[in-house]
Structure 1
Amino acid sequence: MSATNMPAVSAAGQEIEKLMALHPKGFDLSLDRIRRLLEVLGNPHQKLPPVIHIAGTNGKGSATAFCRALLEAAGLAVHVHTSPHLVNWHERYRIGVKGGRSQIVDDELFADALRRVAAANAGRTITVFEILTAVTFVLFSEQPADAVVLEVGLGGRFDATNVIDTPAVSVIMPISLDHQPYLGDRVELIAAEKAGIMKRGLPVVIGRQEYEASLDVLVETAERLSCPMSVYGQDYSGHEEFGRLIYQDEFGLADLPLPRLPGRHQIANASAAIRAVKAAGFTLTDSMIEKAMATVEWPGRLQRLSEGRLFQAAPAGAEIWVDGGHNPGAGEVIAEAMAAFEERHARPLYLITGMINTKDPVGYFRAFTDIAEHVFTVPIRGSDVGLDPVALAHSAFDAGLIAEPAGSVEEALAEISSRQMPDAVPPRILIGGSLYLVGNVLADNGTPPT
């Protein structure tokens, strides 16, 4: 049974519900519990194909998607771990297929791994994320593949994925402020946590960094650990020229199509992934990279909806985009992408935004001050940490935007439709501020990730 055509509660979903009832939901950053569990399981994390380990505040998911596309374009079977999921827990695990597209894990295979890991843990104190990470290693060690692309959950140094002692390459994507209660309130402190995935003497790829302070920490850590290092803008780079992606590193220059993923920031993300796959020891030809740029997919990140129930509820001819970016750094790159769309095709921009209470909503909204016409703030269904829409509307107002609360995304779409004059240009609508909200939207629209 595929992960996108499941009953309301799948077999794996039932197992996860049991775990959620037994174990804490939150983060308790430590590696002791998962190392103990993995030892009981026979250390499956030590029986994996070459691992590309990816951390960062923004862009790590996109880099994961690009690495997967590049390796699959080379005909390789690639296991992929991402978090969080958007609609189904199964999305976190893609199982590699030789010569084809990796598939979201089968429900029974997933449920069986969950049962075995829970039995091995024997009721000891552990977080659900740590159990799910152990499941990653069980699944990926038992299914044949040529590579693993492993996205960090939170931070790096004490993230449950950081039991990987010999990655083929460690990748650090852009760093900005997020998860401050866990990682620190300055970018250099967050950079130090992310740098914790670097391993002595093993390759490191550093993506484009907005802050000099974070770059300094990453470079100093790599040097201290004697890691062969590739730094964006120094050892490799990418830029747009005449509608093409120009990538360059010590092996030469490649003239490539622009990535399928929209937004100028994806040029740097794609470039980091190309460098990472090469640094991990895999061979890439220009034709492989061209194929990857055309086939890469990353649901919920500047994803355009072109069908579905919510799409039908929007004004006729409207553009609808969803994006799970939720911090000020993400707000800046999403707003830049919206401004670029505006340059090509002018439309009024409406935001439909929901956020959780650990984020910086004013910082996120500030990026849209000059381009958004109106903001509707909405609740996040199924979350007990969602910001009240009234309070979120006040944050948008504090950032200089006109905002009002709505009861749901559908209600906000109806309100936008009611304001649409017959001869007016159809609007551009961005639904975002939280991956959880994007998950709600994709589920309600009938277009979950596949």
Structure 2
Amino acid sequence: MQDTLNHIFSLRKNGRMDHSIRPEFFTLLDRLGNPHTHLPPVIHVAGTNGKGSTIAFMRAMLEAAGHSVHAYTSPHLIRFNERIVLNGQVIDDARLKPLLDEVLAAAHDDPDQSFFEIATAAAFTAFARTRADIVLLETGVGGRLDATNVVEHPIATAITTLSFDHTAWLGERLENIAAEKAGIIKPGVPCVVGAQMMDEAPAAIRVIETRAAAMQAALTIMGRDWHVHDVTDSSWSLTVAGETLSALPRPAMAGAHQIDNAALAIATLRAQSQCPVPIDAIHHGLRTAHWPGRLHRISHPAAPASWDVWVDGAHNDSGAIVLARHIAALYASDGHPTHLIIGMMGHKDAARFIAPLAQCATSVTLIPVPGSEGGKSHDPATLVPLWRTHGARNVSCAPDLDHAIATLAATHAPGRIIVAGSLYLAGHTLAQAAFS
């Protein structure tokens, strides 16, 4: 199994970003029996932030309603298997290995095959061969040219929060990014758009509106067509499709932004009719949905029990804004200082990420992202001046996560550590916690 995974992981190094639909990918799907045309009903989700959480809420609500659910998400945090959920269960090695071997054999003569194409073809093949009521399908980098966008007839599409990420491939302006994400909108298929926080959001929404109009797709937008209101410490309400769902429980997932993700999940489920979800299933899903690595509280082997350790996958500006708000809320509730440990991939916009966070923490420790040798990670030392320019105090570097945590524990009174900056770092941190 590991040899197979090592091979597909090596495809990440082929120098081509995984967000183009090539003729060779259609050839691969054809050799596999065109599984993308034999799927259960599909809800397709694109966006910059919140895709995984939105899918987690939909999955929990659908399963609470008695529906069987497949899901395809990325990236994985600890094991590749996490990407493919069959009927509510992460695919096991016994099913995954022959599946990957079959897909690789079918793609053997394609020198430009990519990691994401192989993973997506494997997911489609598994979903087509295993009965379920619905598929929750997450895009990879973009939307318009994403390998998942070969699905031509979803029952609904959703677009989550837009932000500045992967700009080298999607464009430097939010309108460019919106155009790529809106590429999943299909003729006559309802599209639901979630919360937006960037100043450039109005122009981006106009791009989505233009695409929806061209596709004659019913478009509903948070804040315009459906609304979150009456938010308290214990409940919130949602008005969608002419119906008000009152006194909904706060999501189990941490962070005020998860109400927005949950609202998008509900609004999207309300936009389709093939898998009805009653109100009791919505309540159950809100209480039980979980998405690891997003404001996730853990026990870490390097941290004394007196320290509170969290891990978050925030790695762009909107993720940093959400994280900064959560840090402020935590401090308001208990007065404990926050210490940030940050590692960032080299292609991420460090300045946009740093600006919202620089003055939130008592200290900032910068580390390389594990496994990102060879220049793929931002050099921590080069980011120190940027943090200081934005007002951060007590900025330092450490060689790795364990050293960073140990140094904090030795030099500060017990407080809160939040590890963030990269989903790869989040996965590494969770793996250390899981296997300690």
Instruction: After superposition, give the CA deviation of every residue in 1:221-265 in whole Å (9 maximum; x if it has no partner).
Output: 112211012111122222313520211112411121000111111
Name the structure 2 match of 1:27. 17
Name the structure 2 match of 1:407. 399
CA contact 2:227–2:238 (8 Å) conserved in 1: yes
1:303 counterpart (296, 311, 326): 296
Q: Return the offset for 1:43.
A: 0.6
CA contact 1:52–1:150 (8 Å) conserved in 2: yes
Q: Which piece of structure 1 moves more, 379-388 or 267-276?
A: 379-388
1:78 counterpart (54, 69, 84): 69
1:260 counterpart (223, 247, 252): 252
Q: Which piece of structure 1 moves more, 263-272 or 275-284?
A: 275-284
1:435 counterpart (403, 423, 429): 423
1:329 counterpart (315, 318, 331): 318
Name the structure 1 match of 2:306. 317
Give the whole-Å Cα distance in 1 for the aligned partners of 2:136 and 2:10.
30
Matched, 1:231 2:224: no
Q: How many residues are paired up?
A: 424
Q: Return the offset for 1:60.
A: 1.1
Q: Return the offset for 1:395.
A: 2.7
Structure 2 letter corresponding to 1:14: D
Matched, 1:277 2:269: yes
Matched, 1:108 2:94: yes
TM-aligned CA distance change 1:21 to 1:292, over 3 Å:
closer
Give the whole-Å Cα distance in 2 for the aligned partners of 1:115 and 1:147.
26
TM superposition score normalised by structure 2: 0.94
TM-aligned CA distance change 1:21 to 1:151, over 3 Å:
closer
SS at match of 2:97: helix
Q: Return the offset for 1:185.
A: 0.1
TM-aligned CA distance change 1:159 to 1:395, over 3 Å:
same
Matched, 1:59 2:50: yes
Structure 2: where are the runs of 5+ without partners?
A: none
Q: Return the offset for 1:275.
A: 0.9
Matched, 1:286 2:279: yes
- Paired residues for 1:5-404 under 5 Å: 11=1, 13-21=2-10, 24=14, 26-31=16-21, 32-96=23-87, 102-124=88-110, 125-210=112-197, 211-239=201-229, 240-241=231-232, 243-254=234-245, 255-281=247-273, 282-305=275-298, 307=299, 311-384=300-373, 385-402=376-393, 403-404=395-396
TM superposition score normalised by structure 1: 0.91
Name the structure 2 match of 1:99. none
Give the whole-Å Cα distance in 2 for the aligned partners of 1:299 and 1:224.
37
Instruction: After superposition, give the CA deviation of every residue in 1:38-73 in whole Å (9 maximum; x if it has no partner).
Output: 111111011111111100011111111111111111
CA contact 1:363–1:399 (8 Å) conserved in 2: no
Structure 1: where are the runs of 5+ without partners?
A: 1-10, 97-101
Give the whole-Å Cα distance in 1 for the aligned partners of 2:101 and 2:142.
27
SS at match of 2:362: strand
Q: Return the offset for 1:104.
A: 1.1
Q: Which piece of structure 1 moves more, 207-216 or 393-402?
A: 393-402
Q: Return the offset for 1:370.
A: 3.0
Give the whole-Å Cα distance in 2 for the aligned partners of 1:163 and 1:447.
38
Identity %: 38
Structure 1 letter corresponding to 2:316: N
